[in-house]
Structure 1
Amino acid sequence: MHRPSPPEAEAALADELSVVRPALSAPYARALPGARAAVLTRLWRALAHEPLPWIARREPGRDGLTLHLTDGRRLHGPHADPYATAAYVTEVRLDERSYDRPARLVDALAVPHGLAFAAELDHSVASLALSRAGQPASGREPESGWEWEQRVVDGHPFHPNCRSRPGFSVVEQLAYGPEHRPVVELGLVPVEDCLVKGEWPKWLRDEERVLIPVHPWQAAHVLTGVPSQGSVAAHPLMSLRTLALPDGPHVKTALSARLTSSVRDISVYSIETSATVSAFAQDMAARTDGLLHVTHTLGAATSGSPGLAAVLRESPDVYARTGERVLPVAALATTELPRSPSWLADFTRLAVTVCLRLLDLGLALEAHGQNLLVVLSPTGAPLRLVYRDLADLRVSPARLTRHGIPVPPLAGRTVTDDETALRRKLFGSLVGGTLGATAGSSAVLREALESVVPDLPRTADLDALLHEPLPTKALTLMRLSPDTSGDIWTRLPNPLVTRSF
């Protein structure tokens, strides 16, 4: 059966770029091979480690890894380090044919739902090349938190759709993507019958009406015809839909676009519980001896629709003292700091100690490189952590009760006593994400963890961290399973399982 080829996003973006920003055409073309390798490396990690039903078995050999497909074909590539962030895969071979473009590889695999995924990979490569093409050759060190966030060019360190932004034109990517360093004008939409939690500032009110900040992409593609009343300029952060306002606070806007994996909005339930979750998380942070701060949710508002809502929260910068810097963990890769084994050990000790302490008490953080920030001393030493975006915490009533901590009035997916779910939430984000991406390889991650494990209190959670495969989201399988709701998980080799502690 003939299968149509995936859309050639690389060429389409090049054509549009030649019209709207011709000065970037040559840098974009030069960035394409590196972007293909970056996305192909992420894809190969998924093929090597996720429970994809059309892979019968995996056979490591002296010259790399061979995947035996259920239809008899063989896919061959290099040995796959599950924690490698460098783009080391430039091509893989399906039977006798080599592929250097991830979209064409997935198209050739002809797996269920692969055509849509191939199109997303094509878009991811093109957008990543565009992101890299627009970077200055060099520059000063950032002075503010939002400038640090805009230094993160490559997006998710392990997701093949690291820069996939379907529905965004080149003009829109340049106008809204944080890596392009724009200033975004948020529209202010007046709402009369509005649910508000916390303190909504006076400047976002018009007598009895609440003014909800709206992302311009949302206004153009989702809330068409909805009038705004003025605007406010803001700097986009890593998540694209969250922006830093001129006077400091951050605003999380509803942006109903597919970014990386899923279409995200702001649910009415998250608005209703925002003050409760914020107060609870700050109370829990106070139990870490000053090693963790949680950004306070200042206010939240919704019109009753996930497509028209916003959350205001503190900037992480408020937790920096004189001379200190606060930057998201994802931005550490843009510095020299992780290259020092002693620095990486100190950071690992801080992150693991704080997060395991909270997990034991009953709070599992989704501590990936976007949510977790680190406070650095004037000399660059990791001092404290800051956590933001409370939408995906997990709370264990049983653990809280065991420690005599009041259980907050929460419901739904946030609340669980399932040990596997709690550990997946933390280990998948902290070890498989934050620490793995900061280390950049299994060997470096192993060294960093080995240096801190002997000093940690022995708990059942630590034993699981030491002796079991590490959970991580099966991001590619999730994209190839559109009829399956929720997260799908896989397990990665644990660099510590061969050691005795």
Structure 2
Amino acid sequence: MHRPPTAVAEVAKELAAVRPGLLPRYTAELPGARAAVLTRLWRALAHEPLPWVRRRVRGAHGLALWLADGRALHGPRADPYATDAHVTAVQLDGVEYDDPARLMTDLVVPHSAGFAAELDHSTASLALSRADRADHPEEWPERDWEWEQRVVDGHPFHPGCRSRPGFSVADQLAYGPEHRPVVRLGTMAVAATEYLLTGVWPAELRDGERLLVPVHPWQAAHVLKRPAASWADAHPLMSLRTLALPGGPHVKTALSARLTSSVRDISPYSVGASATLSEFAQDLAARTDGLLHITRTLGAVTAGSADLAAVLRESPEVYAAPGERILPVAAVATTGLARSPAWLAGFTRLALSVGLRLLDLGVALEAHGQNLLVVLSADGTPLRLVYRDLADIRVSPARLARHGIAPPDLTGRLVTDDETTLRRKLFGSLVAGALAGTAGSGPALGAALAAAVPDLPATADLAALRERPLPTKALTLMRLSPGPPGDQWASLPNPLVLEHGTFDQ
């Protein structure tokens, strides 16, 4: 049977045409990239509530998964918090698989073919990213976007960690932060009768009564399909669609491409709520005794759809004093700091102090390693946190009222009093996400939490964190469930409760 060319082969072919000097390194990185994606997929198979996995059995030599159709999957034990695990192969009914895309194809479960294509693309794109990684990793960057460029592997737990379908090799080299490009942003003019604006829009992005909306060049070419006027050079950040203007704000652009899990957009709802959220967030930050800053949204605009919209946001750099460094938590793993148990415990204490304080007040942050940044002293001590992008927090009017805080004038998905939803939002992003990705393993995460928790105020939320399974987004289940959008969840063994050897399923 004729098989269509894989993304791995297609990327090699394109790379030979656009940057042939990188091809040998790309080829050399493929086995490691394949294992990295397989490791993330095996973690999902071991821990997510997939309806076609009927039973999981841990044995002396690994983990067995019994499927609904009678077949069995065998592989190593899977620490759900490990970032340096290296699964090179698993077995499906005695047949060995080292390719995550081929494994997903042959599982033949609902929607597996589409997800297999994403895993194939993730493998190819990850190998490309690793092949082009910067030299001299021991040197610490000076600018915020340089820290973002160091996060080569993408999401530490998502099998689609580098999946960018719709992006050619030339697109990835031109726009991916790990490739260190300078991106020329454009603008498109929007008449006064066509836009919604909140906040303040700068004079340089006005043309009489019209607003000039910053546009990503990929969006202009592939979605809007019309040219944009040249505007400014910028450096892409981890989210790809947000870029840093040197000496100026960050620009969040519309980029209607599927990245990792979903098509990210800037909805009219988000634009309409942005000014209210930003003002409210400053009051919240003031209640953390200087341990947290929240970047201000300067202005947001939409031209009636998610395809043409932009947000201007303060650069986190404004919150770092001379001699301090500020970096996204996702980049901490590139520094070696987290190898110190004392450093990791101190950082965990800081992050939980802030996150639980805001949760108790009534706000659950989406505090994953991309949104949450840490300010370090010259010797690397974690001093305080910076949070950016308020578009996906959750706000509890009832909790705010208990503390005498007037709820912001918000409606819609951001507002909820459901305790499960609020705790999932914070614990899933901060503990199972940012802290787990920094710690790198269940035992290291458990030790850091055990050192930090006794110093935290006793609240019902802290009790839930200490005693219950840890929620995390079921990222693979979500990719295999293409129905109505929304988060789905898995429950992971609590690193504060289980002994060292029981992190494996």
Q: What TM-score does the superposition give when structure 2 sets the normalisation length?
A: 0.97
Give the Cα separation in 2 of the matches to 1:318 and 1:210. Answer: 26
Q: Report Cα offsets for 1:243-283 as digits up to 9, x if no partner.
A: 00123210000000000000111001111111000111111
**What is the CA distance between 1:205 and its match in structure 2?**
1.1
Q: Which moved more, 1:484-493 or 1:161-170?
A: 484-493
Is the Cα–Cα contact under 8 Å of residues 303 and 309 in structure 2 kept in the other structure?
A: yes
Q: Report Cα offsets for 1:16-56 as digits up to 9, x if no partner.
A: 10111000000000000000011000000000000101111
**What is the CA distance between 1:207 and its match in structure 2?**
1.7
**What is the CA distance between 1:346 and its match in structure 2?**
0.5
Q: Look up the equivalent residue of 1:269 and give its one-letter code.
A: Y
- Other-structure match for 2:205: 204
C-alpha root-mean-square deviation of aligned residues, in Å?
1.1
Superposition pairs of residues 169-180 of structure 1, within 5 angstroms:
169-180=168-179
**What is the CA distance between 1:466 and its match in structure 2?**
0.4
**What is the CA distance between 1:343 and its match in structure 2?**
0.5
Is the Cα–Cα contact under 8 Å of residues 478 and 487 in structure 1 kept in the other structure?
A: yes
SS at match of 1:450: helix
**What is the CA distance between 1:152 and its match in structure 2?**
0.5
Q: Does 1:337 align with 2:334?
A: no
- Other-structure match for 1:374: 374
Q: Which moved more, 1:489-498 or 1:10-19?
A: 489-498
Q: Which moved more, 1:132-141 or 1:397-406?
A: 132-141
Is the Cα–Cα contact under 8 Å of residues 9 and 123 in structure 1 kept in the other structure?
A: yes
Superposition pairs of residues 13-52 of structure 1, within 5 angstroms:
13-52=11-50
**What is the CA distance between 1:456 and its match in structure 2?**
1.1
Please identify runs of 4+ aligned residues in structure 1 that moved more than 3 A.
Answer: 4-7
Is the Cα–Cα contact under 8 Å of residues 288 and 357 in structure 1 kept in the other structure?
A: yes
Give the Cα separation in 2 of the matches to 1:223 and 1:246. Answer: 26
Task: Return 5+ residue gaps in structure 2 as ranges.
Answer: 500-505
Q: Report Cα offsets for 1:410-435 as digits up to 9, x if no partner.
A: 01110000000000000000110001
- Other-structure match for 1:411: 411
Q: Report Cα offsets for 1:353-394 as digits up to 9, x if no partner.
A: 110000000000000000000000011000000000000000
Is the Cα–Cα contact under 8 Å of residues 75 and 90 in structure 2 kept in the other structure?
A: yes
Give the Cα separation in 1 of the matches to 2:293 and 2:3. Answer: 49
SS at match of 2:304: strand
- Other-structure match for 2:223: 222
Q: Look up the equivalent residue of 2:218 and give its one-letter code.
A: W
Q: Look up the equivalent residue of 1:11 and give its one-letter code.
A: A
- Other-structure match for 1:314: 314
Give the Cα separation in 1 of the matches to 2:230 and 2:144. Answer: 26
Q: Report Cα offsets for 1:162-218 as digits up to 9, x if no partner.
A: 000000000000000000000001111111132211111111111221111100110
Q: Look up the equivalent residue of 2:170 and give its one-letter code.
A: V
- Other-structure match for 2:294: 294
Q: Report Cα offsets for 1:45-96 as digits up to 9, x if no partner.
A: 0000001011110000000000000111100000000000014101000011
Q: Look up the equivalent residue of 2:169 and give its one-letter code.
A: V
- Other-structure match for 2:74: 76
Give the Cα separation in 1 of the matches to 2:230 and 2:484. Answer: 41
Give the Cα separation in 2 of the matches to 1:168 and 1:497. Answer: 43
Is the Cα–Cα contact under 8 Å of residues 134 and 150 in structure 2 kept in the other structure?
A: no
Superposition pairs of residues 397-408 of structure 1, within 5 angstroms:
397-408=397-408
- Other-structure match for 2:279: 279
Is the Cα–Cα contact under 8 Å of residues 7 and 119 in structure 1 kept in the other structure?
A: no
**What is the CA distance between 1:5 and its match in structure 2?**
5.5
SS at match of 1:304: coil
Give the Cα separation in 2 of the matches to 1:7 and 1:165. Answer: 17
SS at match of 1:491: strand
Q: Look up the equivalent residue of 2:129 and give its one-letter code.
A: S
**What is the CA distance between 1:7 and its match in structure 2?**
5.1
- Other-structure match for 1:478: 478
**What is the CA distance between 1:6 and its match in structure 2?**
7.1
Is the Cα–Cα contact under 8 Å of residues 436 and 442 in structure 1 kept in the other structure?
A: yes
- Other-structure match for 2:54: 56
**What is the CA distance between 1:138 and its match in structure 2?**
1.6
**What is the CA distance between 1:452 and its match in structure 2?**
1.0
SS at match of 1:17: helix
Give the Cα separation in 2 of the matches to 1:135 and 1:184. Answer: 18
**What is the CA distance between 1:498 and its match in structure 2?**
4.2
**What is the CA distance between 1:137 and its match in structure 2?**
3.0
Give the Cα separation in 2 of the matches to 1:162 and 1:73. Answer: 28
Is the Cα–Cα contact under 8 Å of residues 191 and 211 in structure 2 kept in the other structure?
A: yes
Task: Return 5+ residue gaps in structure 1 as ranges.
Answer: none
**What is the CA distance between 1:114 and its match in structure 2?**
0.3
Percent identity at matched positions? 71
Superposition pairs of residues 150-169 of structure 1, within 5 angstroms:
150-169=149-168
**What is the CA distance between 1:230 and its match in structure 2?**
2.6
Give the Cα separation in 2 of the matches to 1:229 and 1:113. Answer: 41
- Other-structure match for 2:503: none
Give the Cα separation in 1 of the matches to 2:439 and 2:59. Answer: 25
Is the Cα–Cα contact under 8 Å of residues 135 and 180 in structure 1 kept in the other structure?
A: yes
SS at match of 2:224: coil
Q: Does 1:263 align with 2:258?
A: no
**What is the CA distance between 1:98 and its match in structure 2?**
0.5
Q: Look up the equivalent residue of 2:141 and give its one-letter code.
A: P
Is the Cα–Cα contact under 8 Å of residues 6 and 103 in structure 1 kept in the other structure?
A: no
Give the direction of change, closer, same or farther, for the CA distance of 1:67–1:6 in structure 2 (3 Å limit): farther
Q: Which moved more, 1:139-148 or 1:206-215?
A: 139-148
- Other-structure match for 2:114: 116
SS at match of 1:454: helix
Q: Look up the equivalent residue of 1:149 and give its one-letter code.
A: E
- Other-structure match for 1:187: 186
Is the Cα–Cα contact under 8 Å of residues 6 and 115 in structure 1 kept in the other structure?
A: no
Give the Cα separation in 2 of the matches to 1:42 and 1:340. Answer: 25
Give the Cα separation in 2 of the matches to 1:131 and 1:76. Answer: 30
Q: Does 1:388 align with 2:384?
A: no
Give the Cα separation in 1 of the matches to 2:99 and 2:273. Answer: 44
Is the Cα–Cα contact under 8 Å of residues 184 and 230 in structure 2 kept in the other structure?
A: no
Superposition pairs of residues 428-447 of structure 1, within 5 angstroms:
428-447=428-447
Is the Cα–Cα contact under 8 Å of residues 215 and 253 in structure 1 kept in the other structure?
A: yes
- Other-structure match for 1:324: 324
Give the direction of change, closer, same or farther, for the CA distance of 1:290–1:117 in structure 2 (3 Å limit): same
